[in-house]
Structure 1
Amino acid sequence: MIRFHSYLCLFIMMLCLGKINMLQAQSLLVAKQTFQNGYFEQAIEQWQTILATTQKINERLEALLGIASTYRRLGAYDNALKTINIALPIALQHEPIDYALLHNELSKLRLSQGENWRKEALRQLKTAFKLARQINNPILLAEVLNHQGNFLSTVDDYEGAKEAYEKALLYIKSSTKSASHFSNEDIEALYSKVLINQAFMVFSLETEMAYQHDDKAQAFKASIAALEQALPVTQNRQETYSQVFGLIAISQLSRKIQSQLSTPAEKLTSLAYQALTAARAVAVSLDNSAAKAYANGYLGQLYEQAKRYDDALSLTRQAQFFAGQTRSQLQLYLWQWQLGRILKAQGKYQGAIRAYQEAIKNLGSVRTQVANMGYFNITKNFQEQVMPVYFELVDLLLQQARFAQNNSTRDRLLLQARNLMEAFKAAELQDYFQSECLAIKNKCSHVEQMLDAQTAVLYPIVLSGRLELLLQRSDGLVQTTVPISKVKLRDTIASFLSPLRHHPNPEQLAKVQMPDQLADTCKPSWRASTVQMLDTLTNNRFLEPAKTLYSLLIKPLIPQLHDIKTLVIVSDGALRTIPFAALHDGEEFLIEKYALVLSPGLCYRFPKSQLRQKRAKILLIGLSDAVQGFSSLPCAEYELDTLQGLFHLPSQPLLNSAFTISQVHTEMNENAYSIVHIASHGQFSANLKNTFVLTYNDKLSMDKLEDLMNLTILKNDPVDLLTLSACETAVGDDRAALGLAGVALKAGVQSALASLWKVDDEATPAVVIEFYRQLQNPNISKAEALQKAQKMILTDKLYERYRHPYFWSAFLLIGNWL
């Protein structure tokens, strides 16, 4: 009897355990279904509940992998990384497939985190692929190869990506219907993704070769075939949230191909509508507000493109409604922007302005969320997704201002346009420096109060078919419109810059016999002792485009500039790459008329300005030796020695081996400096990671530079002027020039003196030393000091050798002009 009861208890326990196991398995299916329906936060909660109730290794790993993947999709990268780090040691001991999938997921995470993590993403991808080959599970291999294709596409290796997708498809086709560890639904979803990704790669490759075809329809024949293969597979898979986005991707690719054709292809139009109609149906079936917002919004975009504005408006308003239910500011921004475009096309300008303003308001919130929490990383596509919203609204405001019926309306619209450009400048710099912590003022509606009667601010705004010039004087705003295409303006800028950035006589420079003493070599008087024979025709090639740019940017405003002495320029795009000082009116350079300043914008909190002392305290730093593969700068030592004498400094400059980050940190921490002068190679790149100042044994990044300058701000004694006398920006790179424009703001200093290109080493001291001589007069502003130094090169016979603007126009004053 006792044995019977024991067996009965054991039987009941087994039934209970079996029921618990079955419930846990069902819970995993429910969590997965929740995830597939697009309810990400709810899915995470369900997986976390499973983790709290089960000790089964395979179930815990499935939940952890699901949580990590979902956090990545939400942009919560830190949480995703923590989850992966918890799962990896468990999977290593028990589940080889999950271990490979976790490394693959870690690679996806690192790739999502941006350029700085690309190498780590590749390392994790290689690990995942090695593990997958050892396990030899075809679907696992296909999963890793699909990610490999995605990774290669980000570095523009389209051939490699296409090959990876083709291999992934072969593995999927070779697998059995129910492959180990993967469900039929998993396999169908992967097959659909790979087909869509392959179609995009085929399009990228065909785009590169399209110039060889007269018939563009033939040029994209393979892309269209790939789309036609992907659409039915994506339509017929299990209804999921990701299916909606697969169908949207197909419609977007259809439109991309269509944009390459000279005449519309009915087949592509049909494909786009078919895909978006299907996406909308799936979104309704899932009853997912986010999916419904995207499906309606992109369908509305298709109608907008077809100029069916009433239908587009209806769908866009539906997208706004569903986006409002999700409280997604990213979605609200997208559809408010679209609403603005549609209303503008319908001639409903006031409604369009309101829609654009709401879009920018939500965009600002989204960008803050990106920086603080990692959600929705849209800033990586700043040029495509952020800039157009601002410029379309600025365009609309300026058009309305031009035709305003009265002065008060015109002034209000111009003020809105100017403030919007200031807001854009802030967003652009925050994007470049990947920081929301740049010191932006809360309000900038009273910029005119910062100006005296002899100072004006010029905002040149480059639009698609015209150039708008906004001139802010202390007594108001002036608008001038100049008809010129963006392409023609860029070509003129290129013609201007090309001869300016190269030494006007490199052959004679190479023949110069250097004297024994370095100091004599670098003195302007030594170089001036030999007349430089210049080919006038060759070396004046900059002059015609200089005159053209003057006629576009300055001449229309001459009546308003008659009493102006200092001109502050808040430039944009390709205009950031030009030295305004070298613009020419046919008789003289612009620097001969005005003291010029480049500003990233006027809506910034610069550190509190200190009264400039006649005897400012200066920290002198530099490299004259060749280090880390960079050439020597022989005249850097002469430059620093001369400045040491000029400022009567008892201590020696931090030269060569003394120029280390730690030594500069010590100096900045122990002493108060109003000027920091660095005579070393500096490089401004489109990629912030490649923007630096060279030290003896390291590279001083912008973040490290900011940390050093913060030492003085914390002591309430901030640096007034930072000089980088040998830096350069990448040729023709608008974004690299953006880094130069924002250097003062990033470093937390009042002003910066820097160069657009690396000037001849012997000529640099001529401008720089004279700038400091002039600056010792407390009645002269920094802008006037630089103007006098550059004018001296043009007028003093001693500097006749350096009159070509290559030698002096590269030097810019950035930030505060006082």
Structure 2
Amino acid sequence: SLGEKSRALEYFNQALPLLRAVGNRCVEAATLNNIGAVYSYLGENSRALEYYEQALPLFRAVGDREGLSITLNNIGRIFADQNQPEVAIIFLKESVRIRETIRTDNRQLDEQLRQTYITTIEDDYRFLVNLLLQQARIPEAQQVLDLLKLEELRDFTNTRATFTSDGKIRYTDPEQAVLNDHNSLIALGTTILTCEDTNCTDLDRLYRQLEGLKAQYNAQIENFIATIQANRRDDDVFQDLDNLSSEAEDLLIAYQDAGQNAVLIYPFVLEDKLWLVWAAAGGVIGSIEVPITQAELAQTVHHLGRHLKTSGNIQAIQTASQQLYDWIIKPLESELTANEIDHLVFVNDRVTRYIPMAALFDGEQYLLERFQISNVLGLGLTDAIAGFSPLPAVQAELDAIVTQGNNPGVYPGQVFLNRDFTLDNLKTNVLSHNILHLATHAEFVPGRAEDSYILLGDGTTLKTADIDVMDRRLRNLQLVVLSACQTALGGDGGDGTEIAGISSYFLKKGRAKTAIASLWSVNDSSTSVLMQRFYTLLSTGELTQAEALRQAQLSLLYREETADFETRVADSRSLVSVRPRNSAATPTAPGFSHPYHWSPFILIGNGL
């Protein structure tokens, strides 16, 4: 009750001078934190923040990491209550970062004690996850959830992936600027505590310095909020409705000239609704409002992604996928039918960029089975490198793709494996080729494009800055295939604005026309099969890149053995309409029919 809270405040305030007199900083810090909690309960957030900020230097001085993390979490929750989720996330992430250091030190404890600690912090982790999902920052949300797992993250055997859920919390550059100023405040507060205890002569100077730092920190918060708002306004990777008409018309005419009936679908995500803007050839345009909030959409996308990435229950996948289908495709079905559409070109926005559109399910079949799908926006590794597993299927993948020496392949080219797969070899040879195929590990770091990379065979990394430096060397590329993990992810936003990812650096003006990349950690064996089949189909010369990828994906979905796939290839060579399914083929092995294997790869750019 309010009366009890008022009495608690009275007792805490009476205790403070006594604790300061005896120099019990640990209990003093806890008391300040408790006073802040009472004011927060009473709705006096400004006063609550004042006491929390007083507690932080004391916790830092006595080395109480748990007290520090609790207080930072409390500060984050106040910003969340004040409808400043972006600021709240900074403090909540810092709280989680500190708690992960505690968990690291707890590893020598028995499992029951470790689980007890996890139980005490789980609600705070989930609060952060919920806030990240509301902001459509799905990769970060998934990583925080991964941190809660008791078991070690799966190793990288048979997976072209590196998980960033390693206990290291990453911050965007604007977040880091706020955190740096706040940490400076805490450090100075600790210095002032020591000075107060010894009556040092610098106390007045330190007080003045503290006042200046507080003003700087407050300005940094305001600048951070302005930056976030500007990022939303200026998200120009895909999200420019003003430029939609002219660019759309050129794109649609190109597909029409190639004999395709394409529609450009633009899911435009707002906090309280989803707009579906669509355009077909001949200036046919329209829009439909779907009453779904960004938070609800993000939760469903996250649910689908969580099951897809772990090769989860197919019923759960189809349930979530059908819900997304009902929101994104079903409102357009009459238009798709009326215009005899056969190619869907998605200009995805924010959280919809995390959706493998091919895996949307209408209750009977996947979207892949009805349409070509694209999006607008040979080197390899087989040996193990420290911290990464070998990828044995890459050798067979490249042998089947590249004609070199005794390898028949399907395209002439060069193969650089393992220690020959270096940045220098890439720079030297890429100019003379039209297709670049990279089969290796990759790491995506949400919110920090500069830290994302593709692993090279000598243990070094290919980063986005390296791709930019190669600019002119990439001008002859028509197609870049990133047969690695999460190569469609990367960038600065962390809320879906980053989905252009590593692939976008290859697609800048004057570079490659098309990229094929993945949305999550892909399986080595199934990816090798998919890529071999994609190039085999593309080499017939009768299929577009988008259709070749689609047919390769269908061959996995339908569990086609070699004979069935050869029939599919023969059909494409003879210009026979490629059959959606061979009903006579009933292989006993499940193969790679699960969407986990075939749906992560998306085509970005020119699908012809």
Q: Give the alignment partner of residue 595 of structure 1, picking from 357, 369, 372.
A: 372
- 2:416 counterpart of 1:654: yes
Partner of 2:482: 724
Q: Equivalent residue for 1:692?
A: 453
* 1:801 CA drift (Å): 1.5
Q: Cα gap change, 1:379/1:706 in structure 2, threshold over 3 Å: closer, same or farther?
A: farther
- Give yes or no for contact 1:460–1:470 (8 Å, CA) kept in 2: yes
Instruction: Give the C-alpha shift of residue 596 in structure 1.
Output: 0.7
Using the TM superposition, give the Cα deviation of residue 734 of structure 1 relative to its aligned residue in structure 2, in angstroms.
2.5
Residue of structure 1 equivalent to 2:102 = none
Q: Separation in 1 of the partners of 2:274 and 2:474?
A: 41
User: How many Å apart are 1:445 and its aligned residue?
Assistant: 7.5
Distance 1:152 1:649, change over 3 A: closer
TM-superposed CA distance for 1:554, in Å, is 0.4
Larger relative contact order, structure 1 or 2 (CA cutoff 8 Å, min sep 6)? 2
Partner of 2:188: 164
Q: Distance in 2 between matches of 1:454 and 1:656?
A: 43
Greater shift after overlay, 465-474 or 169-178? Answer: 169-178
Q: Which among 263, 273, 289 is matched to residue 456 of structure 1?
A: 263
Matches of residues 304-315 of structure 1 in structure 2 within 5 Å?
none
How much is the aligned-residue C-alpha RMSD, in angstroms?
Answer: 3.6
- 2:315 maps to what in 1? 540
Whether the 8 Å CA contact 2:474–2:512 is kept in 1: the answer is no
Q: Give the whole-Å Cα distance in 1 for the aligned partners of 2:231 and 2:471.
A: 30
CA distance in 2, matches of 1:725, 1:152: 32
Q: Give distance in 2, aligned partners of 1:543 and 1:493.
A: 12
Determine the structure 1 residue equivalent to 2:336: 561
Q: Is the contact made by 2:343 and 2:371 (CA closer than 8 Å) also made in structure 1?
A: yes
2:384 counterpart SS class: coil
Query: Counterparts of 1:296-375 in structure 2 under 5 Å?
Result: none
Distance 1:459 1:785, change over 3 A: same
Deviation per residue, 1:721-776 (Å, 9 max, x gap): 01111222679862552315624424820101111122221111221111111111
Q: What's the CA shift string for 1:135-178, capped at 9, x where partnerless?
A: xxxxxxxxxxxxxxx99874479577424235258769954799
* Partner Cα distance (1:161, 1:188) in 2: 11
Aligned equivalents of 1:451, 1:648: Cα separation in 2? 26
Mapped to 1, the partners of 2:484 and 2:329 lie a distance apart of 29
Indicate yes or no: 2:524 matched with 1:764. Answer: no
Q: What's the CA shift string for 1:353-384, capped at 9, x where partnerless?
A: xxxxxxxxxxxxxxxxxxxxxxxxx7996533
The TM-score with structure 2 as length reference comes to 0.57
Aligned to 1:587, the other structure's residue is in SS state coil
Q: 1:596 to 1:448 in 2, by over 3 A?
A: closer
In the alignment, which residue of structure 2 is the partner of 1:193?
A: 212
In structure 2, relative to structure 1, the CA distance for the partners of 1:421 and 1:160 (3 Å cut) is farther
* CA–CA distance in structure 1, aligned partners of residues 425 and 225 of structure 2: 35
Counterpart of 1:464, as a letter, is E
Displacement, 1:712?
Answer: 4.4
Matches within 5 A, 1:767-782: 767-782=530-545
Work out whether residues 273 and 289 of structure 2, in 8 Å CA contact, stay in contact via their aligned partners in 1. Answer: yes
Alpha-carbon distance in 2 for matches of 1:487, 1:624: 41
The C-alpha deviation readout for 1:526-547, integer Å capped at 9, x for no partner, is xxxxxxxxxxxx3321111100
Change in Cα spacing, 1:642 to 1:190, as seen in structure 2 (3 Å) is same
3-state SS of paired residue (2:525): coil
Gaps of 5+ in 1: 1-149, 180-186, 201-244, 254-377, 395-416, 423-440, 505-537, 601-619
Say if 2:438 is the partner of 1:678: yes
Q: 2:584 aligned with 1:584, yes or no? A: no
**CA distance in 2: counterparts of 1:444 and 1:599, whole angstroms:** 10
Counterpart Cα distance in 2 of 1:570 and 1:540: 28
CA-to-partner distance for each residue in 1:576-624, whole Å, 9 max, x for gaps? 1110110000010001111111212xxxxxxxxxxxxxxxxxxx11000
Q: Quick check: 2:189–2:210 contact (8 Å CA) kept in 1?
A: no
| 744 and 459 in structure 1: CA distance in 2 versus 1, 3 angstrom threshold | farther
Q: Note closer, same or farther for the CA distance 1:502–1:816 as it changes in structure 2 (3 Å cut).
A: same
Q: How does 1:135-284 map to 2 (within 5 A)?
A: 154-155=178-179, 161-168=185-192, 174-175=200-201, 190-196=209-215
Alpha-carbon spacing, 1:161–1:420, altered in 2? closer, same or farther (3 Å): farther
For 1:492, the equivalent position in structure 2 comes to 300
Contact 1:599 1:741 in 2 (8 A): no
Partner letter of residue 534 of structure 2?
F
The alignment partner of 1:636 has SS state of helix
- Contact 2:175/2:224 (8 A) holds in 1: no
Aligned-partner SS, 2:395: helix
| C-alpha distance in 2 between matches for 1:689 and 1:557 | 38
- 1:681 corresponds to which letter in structure 2? H
Counterpart for residue 593 of structure 2: 803
Give the letter for the 1:542 counterpart: I
Is 1:636 the equivalent of 2:394?
Answer: yes
**What is the Cα deviation at residue 659 of structure 1?**
0.5
Partner Cα separation in structure 1 for residue 444 and residue 498 of structure 2: 5
* Aligned mates of 1:727, 1:381 — CA distance in 2: 33
Match of 1:742 in 2: 504
1:388-440 deviations in whole A, cap 9, x for unaligned?
Answer: 4789xx9xxxxxxxxxxxxxxxxxxxxxx722679xxxxxxxxxxxxxxxxxx
| Larger-gyration structure (1/2) | 1
For the 8 Å contact 1:743–1:752, the answer to whether it is kept is no
> Which of 373, 377, 381 is equivalent to 1:623?
381
In the alignment, the residues of structure 1 paired with residue 462 and residue 261 of structure 2 have an alpha-carbon distance, to the nearest angstrom, of 38
* Matched-pair contact (CA < 8 Å) for 1:744–1:815: no
Name the SS of the counterpart of 2:557 in structure 1. helix
Whole-angstrom distance in 2 between the partners of 1:752 and 1:379: 33
* Equivalent pair of 2:453/2:461 in contact (CA under 8 Å): yes
Q: What CA distance in whole angstroms lies between the structure 1 residues aligned with 2:202 and 2:420?
A: 67
| Correspondence 1:570 to 2:329 | no
What amino acid maps onto 1:684 in structure 2?
Answer: F
- The letter for the 2-side match of 1:193 is G
- AA of the residue aligned to 2:307: P
Q: Deviations over 1:106-144 (max 9, x none)?
A: xxxxxxxxxxxxxxxxxxxxxxxxxxxxxxxxxxxxxxx
Whether the 8 Å CA contact 1:458–1:570 is kept in 2: the answer is: yes
Deviation at 1:469, TM superposition (A): 0.3
What is the one-letter code of the residue matched to 2:347?
V
**CA distances 1:498-532 after superposition (whole Å, capped 9, x unpaired):** 1100134xxxxxxxxxxxxxxxxxxxxxxxxxxxx
Matched residues, number: 387
Structure 1 counterpart SS, 2:552: helix
Q: Could you tell me which residue of structure 1 aligns to residue 464 of structure 2?
A: 702
